[in-house]
Structure 1
Amino acid sequence: MYVTGILGNLAAGQVADLLGRKFVIMSSSVSHIIGALVVASSYTRTQIMVGRLFTGLSLGLSSMCAPIYLSEISVTAVRGHITLLYYFFYGVGFAVGTLVGGGFATVTKGWRYMAAIGSFLSLVQFIFFFFAPESPRWLISKGRVREGRGALLSLRSEDYPSSAELDAIKADVNDNAGKGGLVQVFKSPPVRRALLVGSLLHMSQALTAFVTIIVYSATIVTMTGIADRTNAMWIVTGMVGAALVGLAVGLGLVERVGRRALVLTSLMGVTTSFLFVAIVFTLIHVHSPAVELPPVDLECDAQTCAECTFNGKCGYCFSGGQGNPEDAACVLADSDDYYNGLDP
């Protein structure tokens, strides 16, 4: 998924410049529809992986092109807010998805319904974008000035000075003609510094494994002793809700305190939070319950639950209460009956 997402990111800019912003966004919708339907109908791990490849490609295409499209169709006065709202509703979608996931947690094969819902939402997006105007700036950059003017007028109210904006877009397109490409970016020191700062900010988010923790948060919560996965899902919903509150606060403060102050504050908060997570994981490992029974398979030879579950092929099985495990064993994850494998 992440590999195709990277490929989608890399390809989106060039394809968007060549074929248009709408084409890329609608293509991402089609890719997600295919991927979600493949996942929903999967009966093997390979099928799920193929579906995830398509959804990853969709994410890569849309995450690159959607902010560009929004910025190019927005008026200058609210352009920054529109872009921020995009990321805010990204968080809203995450929160709603978690809520729906919690609702389907007790439904047999509920994950299939979750995937199917994703395909339906992508279909809705595809239909809406079919009727949406293309980016006026892109149309003008391709010499299609009349179409660009029509697209701009469809996006503005009658009393808005659209002619002045159209002239400004044409002038900007002419000034920047032939100046695109990575070579030109690296030749300009101010642009190069901005690119470096932006890249480091994105890398800092990725390297903190924030997305990984969110994706596997239900599993992480169960590691704390909450066995019921439904309850774990609702706890995760609260976590995502907290992230949504943070997005809303940032949206309200960005124009008051500035971008730099918010970035530095959030980075300090992330550092503190992940330090706490690291300490908790260490304590879980140190106080992990012991494996009492000998292994049937040497591949699952472990001394503690943490050591056992670190191996993706093995699982920790026990009888008795969760707080007081008895006859604990480390077994292959696909083993139906460990105890039948032991010598009498």
Structure 2
Amino acid sequence: MVEGGISKADKTEFTECWRTSWKTPYIMRLALSAGIGGLLFGYDTGVISGALLYIREDFKAVDKKTWLQETIVSMAVAGAIIGAAFGGWINDRFGRKISILVADFLFFVGATVMAVSPAPWMLIIGRILVGLGVGMASMTAPLYISEASPHRIRGALVSTNGLLITGGQFLSYLINLAFTQVHGTWRWMLGVAGIPALVQFVLMMSLPESPRWLYRKGKIDEARSILGKIYPDEEVEDEMQALNKSIEEEKAEEGSIGEGGMIEKLRKAWSNDVVRRGLYAGIAVQVAQQFVGINTVMYYSPTIIQFAGIASNQTALALSLVTSGLNAIGSIVSMCFVDRYGRRRLMIISMFGIICCLVVLAGVFYQASTTAPGISKIESAHFGANSTCSAYVQAPDASSWNCMTCLQKATDCAYCSNGDNRVSSTFTLERLIHYTTKYGIIL
């Protein structure tokens, strides 16, 4: 709970946000410095998709074992789960500022470990460290912003964190594309991820702790001093009273839950109708958000594009900018209309669109996978001379090939061709799905 609550981020509030921030730049400094945590989360989501293309080239074990690719990608998510869980405890015990600093340290160390990794196992360790930092920062950043910003523009400032997440994803694809011609490719892509963490660490060292946390810990004078930098002098005492009222109400709610261990507190909290309904809504929304499949698309976007017949890493990364760009635009659209049309209506519309797209994709992939012919020299000979990649037919080690090998050897053949029609779109899609299924890129 935040004193005064988080007001709606409508058009008037965004105007007021701009006006207030112009008069008091310190407010925007607080919000943007903490918001880098969202940027870190978005950057991590997008950067591995491009780096994975080159990691597979350097480490043959990763190229041949899809479970190793999946482990490298997913360990950041596993680390984020743990980081978010422990982040809550660190927030309450040591403060929001300390939590962000620890997250930055973990992220910087993780990015460095990945950049110098001599083997896949070290990459996995680096991904876990990065995940721990991302988990802590992603849940602490909006909390710090909400507690260190004026109540009248709080909604607008907190919403910038979501924009920075999608902006970080778009930035990661740009960074990936910039390093495609540089020696070390993926090492630079992953290593550069430590720069935002370092920048945030330096910025946060000069910023104060959350005034709400300080007030709750009995450091009233420090809280008043910080509020004096955020609010006009004539409003400071009113905000102190609102802060006191909010914390007293929070303590009263905690008292209604009672003492005891964690299990006992959870049981009593669950018996509270308000808490239970809020928990239902919160869990349902978060689960739905993660299960729509956007993270899979963001993690494997360049790989998916390559399986559509684009062999070039650079081209695949460039085309992936469309996905991340639309994702960022979507967040801007939601910020503009969420308070005009409501959260529920926009969520229903977006979920309907997502379901339709997923059903179409599932139908196309299923149909193609059930009709795609087998890939071997025998099947190739059966379909006639040069009915598939000529380099594949003549290769002595064709059994070890994968889809990218064929594309890189003879890009003019696509997946299936013959003398009359060098590129058969039907077979191209079928080959795409066959290889996608066979090598487990999309599961």
**Normalised by the size of structure 1, how large is the TM-score?**
0.84
1:223 aligns with 2:307: yes
Give 1:170's match in structure 2, choosing from 222, 228, 244: 244
Deviations 1:74-131 (A, max 9, x none): 2222222222111011111111111111222233322111222111211000010111
Measured in 2, the distance between the counterparts of 1:10 and 1:314 equals 43
| 1:81 correspondence with 2:156 | yes
Code of the aligned partner of 1:126: F
| Residue type at the aligned position of 1:152 | L
1:194 deviation in Å?
Answer: 1.6
Q: Distance in 1 between matches of 2:368 and 2:138?
A: 36
Contact 1:133 1:154 (8 Å CA) reproduced: no
In the TM superposition, residue 283 of structure 1 has moved relative to its aligned partner by 4.7
Partners of 1:247 and 1:160 in 2: CA distance: 36
Check the 8 A contact 1:5/1:58 in 2, yes or no.
yes
User: Residues 282-321 of structure 1 correspond to what in structure 2 (within 5 A)?
Assistant: 282-286=366-370, 288=372, 290-293=374-377, 315-316=402-403, 317-318=405-406, 320=410, 321=412
Structure 1 residues 54-65: aligned runs within 5 Å: 54-65=129-140
| Deviation sequence 1:190-232 (CA, Å, 0-9, x none) | 2211221111111011122211211111101111111112111
What code does the residue aligned with 1:142 have? K
Q: CA deviation at 1:165?
A: 0.7
- Partner residue of 1:233? 317
The residue matched to 1:132 in structure 2 has which SS?
Answer: coil
Indicate the residue corresponding to 1:206 in structure 2: 290
Q: How many correspondences in the alignment?
A: 314
The letter of the residue matching 1:173 is I
Q: Which amino acid aligns with 2:115?
A: A
| C-alpha distance in 1 between matches for 2:234 and 2:362 | 54
Output aligned runs, 1:38-49, within 5 Å. 38-49=113-124
Contact 1:136 1:151 in 2 (8 A): yes
Q: 1:109-148 counterparts in 2 under 5 A?
A: 109-148=184-223
Given that 2:302 and 2:320 are in contact with CA atoms closer than 8 Å, whether structure 1 keeps it comes out as: yes
Q: Which residue of structure 1 lines up, in the alignment, with residue 413 of structure 2?
A: 322
| 1:47 aligned counterpart, secondary structure | helix
1:273 maps onto 2:351 in alignment: no
Alignment deviations for residues 6-49 of structure 1 (CA, whole Å, 9 cap, x no partner) = 11111111210110001111111000000000001111001100
Alignment pair present for 1:247 and 2:321: no
Partner in structure 2 of residue 90 of structure 1: 165
Q: 2:345: which partner in 1? A: 261
2:52 alignment counterpart: none
- Given the alignment of the two structures, is residue 191 of structure 1 paired with residue 275 of structure 2, yes or no? yes
Structure 2 SS opposite 1:161? helix
Deviates more, 1:187-196 or 1:177-186: 177-186
- Mean Cα displacement is larger for which, 224-233 or 20-29? 224-233
Q: 1:182 to 1:145 in 2, by over 3 A?
A: farther
- Name the CA distance, whole Å, in 2 between partners of 1:7 and 1:61: 9
Identity %: 28
Distance 1:287 1:84 in 2: 47
When the two structures are superposed, what TM-score results if normalisation uses the length of structure 2?
0.66
Quote the RMSD (CA, aligned, Å).
Answer: 2.6
Structure 1 unaligned residues grouped into runs of 5+: 295-303, 306-312, 334-344
Do the aligned partners of residues 160 and 83 (structure 1) sit closer, same or farther apart at CA in structure 2, a change above 3 Å counting? farther
Aligned partner of 1:27 in structure 2 is 102
Q: What amino acid is aligned across from residue 227 of structure 1 in structure 2?
A: A
Q: What are the ranges of 5 or more consecutive residues in structure 2 without an aligned counterpart?
A: 1-75, 255-264, 379-387, 390-399, 418-430
| Distance in structure 2 (CA, Å) of the matches to 1:160 and 1:261 | 40
Task: Determine the C-alpha separation between the residues in 1 that align with 2:240 and 2:143.
Answer: 18
Q: 1:77 to 1:182 in 2, by over 3 A?
A: farther
Residues 125 and 184 of structure 1, relative CA distance in 2, 3 Å threshold:
farther
Which piece of structure 1 moves more, 4-13 or 107-116?
A: 107-116
Aligned to 2:50: none
**Which stretches of structure 1, 4 residues or longer, exceed 3 Å deviation after superposition?**
178-185, 286-290, 316-322
Are the structure 2 counterparts of residues 234 and 222 from structure 1 closer, same or farther at C-alpha, using a change threshold of 3 Å? same
Cα-to-partner distance string for 1:137-175 (whole Å, 9 max, x where unaligned): 11111111111111222223x356121011110121122
2:81 aligned with 1:2: no
